A and B are shown apart, each in its own frame.
Chain A
Amino acid sequence: MSIRVGEAAEAPDFRQAAHALLANKQVRANVRRATETIRNKRANVVGEMPDWEQLRDSGRAIKRRVMRNLDNYLEQFEAACTMAGGQVHWARDADEGNRIVTQIIQSHGQKEIIKVKTMTSDETQLNPHLEANGITPWETDLADLIIQLGHDKPSHIVVPALHKNKAEIRALFMEKMGLSDLGTRPEDLTAAARTYLRERFLRVKVGYSGANFAVAETGSVCVVESEGNGRMCVTLPEVMITMVGIEKIVPSFDDLEVFLQLLPRSATGERMNPYNSIWTGVTPGDGPKEFHVILLDNGRTKVLADEESRETLHCIRCAACLNICPVYRQTGGHAYGSIYSGPIGAILTPQLQSMEHSQSLPYASSLCGACYDVCPVKINIPEILIHLRSRIVENGDRGAAERIGMRMAAYTMSDSGRFSGAQKLVKIGAKPLESLGLPGWSASRDLPAIPKESFRDWWKKNKQ
């Protein structure tokens, strides 16, 4: 069984890929401006919440509960969805998921689908699969449309075309939409997309989406969006297909009250995104007459096995960790060689691939800890990065570990903030060094015992 995460089985070495991208000043400027804008908006709307920390704790607790009983919740979801008239399918990997989608479309004799933005279909590379089978997928999210028309790759989880500026988008739209004239304002470009897609929304018979949440208790599916393309895709077609990673289950309907607060504020810096669609099976007289859900594993059940990094699956794909990450902000998403970029991509991609590929990604971090601070479900990304590095070392790439360890040490010790952050992590960080028996290091020079409390912590506490 092959676990595919996006196009390539193997992400290219992060340092090499990053090096090439760092030379592109336009992309860097675009990425910097976009991430700064979202970061500031997020900070404002998170700052006004008196109970943000409680919500984060609850979100984390709900996700932990899900992971520990995922089998039961999936079966509960299947039963509830089926009872409501939905059809539930299970897919072990990307290819199996893609095949199920194709079969459903072909069984209706259809040649086109309209798609809501979904990272999961990028993960399974659904579009190339459909095209190879003579089916045209129309991406309807504005950014995804930009990516699709430009034969480009997403570089961000939430705003996948943020590496493009409006002049580039205008040129692309004029060429691909056959427009002889088009204004230069974002409003003009958006209006062009509206016209281009409207006819397709009203005509195409099969809709396709991912899901932000799937509710075990009721069998409901929730899609969070802004443009209304999601509402169009889940409402107007006769047949609806949703492929969802199995970790997107939440136990109860009321759990949405937590995530519908955490997600929009973290993702786009809005109090609430313009539209949420929640539906359960099929409703006579309203919306699609046939509804299929595909529950996708594609490596997720194996990620569950490692208790120390299991919480990687808590991710709700808000991309706050990308926007805050000093590495991502320099390189953009393409350097990660995976559709999941940034800090979350650095821990998710190699784990989905059973730690057999993309081994340079856990090193694509300065361990500054900012990703952990902004994560709405409190995934301890720095700790997992270090844990994965130790797993890579245990797998045997000692040379790489030492090289990278030294680089990290130099980087960490050159800045006091980073240094104190690293002291908190050093207990786990020592593991790769200890387990290695690094020649010339731990053999002849023992690592000093790690004190329970760092001097800086002691000083903070006792200076008064």
Chain B
Amino acid sequence: MSAKTDILKSIRQSVGEDRGAELPVNRDYCTSLGLDPEAKIHLFIDRLVDYNATVYRTDHAGIAATVAEALGVRGKRGLVIPSGLPSEWLPNGFHFTVDRDLDYDTLDAAEGALTSSTSAIAFTGSIILTHSPAEGRRAISLIPDYHLCVVFESQIRETVPEAIRGLKDRRTSPITTIAGPSATADIEMMRVKGVHGPRTLDVIIVAA
């Protein structure tokens, strides 16, 4: 008998064939915090700052200038960008390399990556990537040591359930949730920020 047959048979022996109706799951936990829009954004920013991310706020017309500002602060001359990133987000005077299957060593040598995002969670300070053309494949926001990420205010959800439910048609894309730069507390429980993922995360929040 195959392993699959054996395992399924063993489960059926253990739980029996007569299962009755599916057991109910009560979902009366919070799905909303009832915050007004500005309070929600503030909560998100508080969480990001708590994770040591630097946060910028701008409007749609100001994205390119804010990218330039962030790069200036970090002393960067250029970034890797995904192929679907809107070109109007890119300021002059910097070098942007479009990811057309760049090899890992090139990504490792890059100064950082600029990507869009799918949504965010205010309550936990999470950013969610589903790796659409404007967010790029997973490797580009992972290998370089710096990630500059654009989040639109309209994409910020209050709670984890709200964000998970909002993924609907993106559920089977690769999904990465990011809550601050990588970290470890494996040595004497002292939190060290920056292990293998990008050690620096900056976030540009764009008004609707």
Q: Is A256 an interface residue (CB 8 A)?
A: yes
A228 to B192, CA, bound (A): 13
Query: Smallest Cβ distance from A48 to chain B, in angstroms?
Result: 10
A229 to B143, CA, bound (A): 11
With A54-B28, A271-B179 known to touch, is A256 a contact of B164 (CB < 8 Å)?
Answer: yes
With A198-B108, A227-B195 known to touch, is A301 a contact of B11 (CB < 8 Å)?
Answer: yes
Q: Is B125 an interface residue (CB 8 A)?
A: yes
The 8 A CB mask of A168-205 against B (1 = contact, 0 = none) is 01000000000000000011011001100110011000
Query: Smallest Cβ distance from B159 to chain A, in angstroms?
Result: 8
Query: Smallest Cβ distance from A73 to chain B, in angstroms?
Result: 10
Contact A276 B171 (CB under 8 A): no
Contact B179 A92 (CB under 8 A): no
Query: Smallest Cβ distance from A32 to chain B, in angstroms?
Result: 11
Q: Is B73 an interface residue (CB 8 A)?
A: no
Contact A186 B187 (CB under 8 A): yes
Query: Smallest Cβ distance from A109 to chain B, in angstroms?
Result: 20
Name the one of B6, B26, B185, B196 contacting A198, with C-beta atoms under 8 angstroms: B196
Q: Is B22 an interface residue (CB 8 A)?
A: yes
With A51-B30, A227-B182 known to touch, is A274 a contact of B11 (CB < 8 Å)?
Answer: no
Q: Is A226 an interface residue (CB 8 A)?
A: yes
Q: With CB as the reference atom, state the residue of chain A lying closest to B1.
A: A92
Query: Smallest Cβ distance from A160 to chain B, in angstroms?
Result: 8
Contact A272 B196 (CB under 8 A): no
Q: Is A419 an interface residue (CB 8 A)?
A: no
Contacts of A261 in B (CB 8 A): 29, 160
A281 to B13, CA, bound (A): 30
With A142-B184, A257-B165 known to touch, is A272 a contact of B179 (CB < 8 Å)?
Answer: yes
Contact A231 B2 (CB under 8 A): no
With A69-B19, A274-B180 known to touch, is A236 a contact of B186 (CB < 8 Å)?
Answer: no
Q: Is A315 an interface residue (CB 8 A)?
A: no
Contacts of B180 in A (CB 8 A): 274
Query: Smallest Cβ distance from A286 to chain B, in angstroms?
Result: 4
With A69-B22, A277-B175 known to touch, is A268 a contact of B185 (CB < 8 Å)?
Answer: yes
Stretch of A33-41, A367-375, A390-398 with 4 or more beta carbons under 8 angstroms from chain B: A33-41
Q: Is B94 an interface residue (CB 8 A)?
A: no
Contact A229 B15 (CB under 8 A): no
With A51-B29, A202-B108, A274-B181 known to touch, is A257 a contact of B164 (CB < 8 Å)?
Answer: yes
Q: Is B40 an interface residue (CB 8 A)?
A: no
Q: Is B12 an interface residue (CB 8 A)?
A: yes
Query: Smallest Cβ distance from B39 to chain A, in angstroms?
Result: 16
A430 to B165, CA, bound (A): 47
Within 8 A of A (CB), among B189-203: 189-190, 192, 194-198
Name the one of B15, B105, B131, B182 contacting A274, with C-beta atoms under 8 angstroms: B182
With A272-B121, A272-B126, A274-B183 known to touch, is A202 a contact of B11 (CB < 8 Å)?
Answer: no
Q: With CB as the reference atom, state the residue of chain A lying closest to B124.
A: A272
Contact A254 B164 (CB under 8 A): yes
Q: Is A433 an interface residue (CB 8 A)?
A: no
Stretch of A55-63, A127-135, A403-411, A436-444 with 4 or more beta carbons under 8 angstroms from chain B: A55-63
Name the one of B7, B27, B105, B171 contacting A218, with C-beta atoms under 8 angstroms: B171
Contacts of A268 in B (CB 8 A): 185
Q: With CB as the reference atom, state the residue of chain B lying closest to A306.
A: B14
Name the one of B29, B175, B183 contacting A278, with C-beta atoms under 8 angstroms: B175
| New contact pairs (14) apart from A91-B3, A226-B184, A254-B165, CB-CB < 8 Å | A34-B188, A65-B23, A78-B4, A142-B186, A143-B186, A161-B186, A186-B188, A194-B194, A226-B195, A272-B160, A272-B177, A274-B197, A286-B174, A305-B15
User: 16 interchain pairs (CB within 8 A)?
Assistant: A37-B189, A55-B29, A61-B23, A74-B8, A92-B7, A201-B196, A228-B197, A229-B195, A231-B138, A257-B160, A271-B124, A276-B175, A277-B138, A278-B177, A286-B138, A301-B11
B residues neighboring A (CB under 8 Å): 2-4, 6-8, 10-15, 19, 22-30, 47, 51, 101, 104-105, 108, 121, 123-126, 131, 137-139, 142-143, 160-161, 163-165, 167, 171-190, 192, 194-198
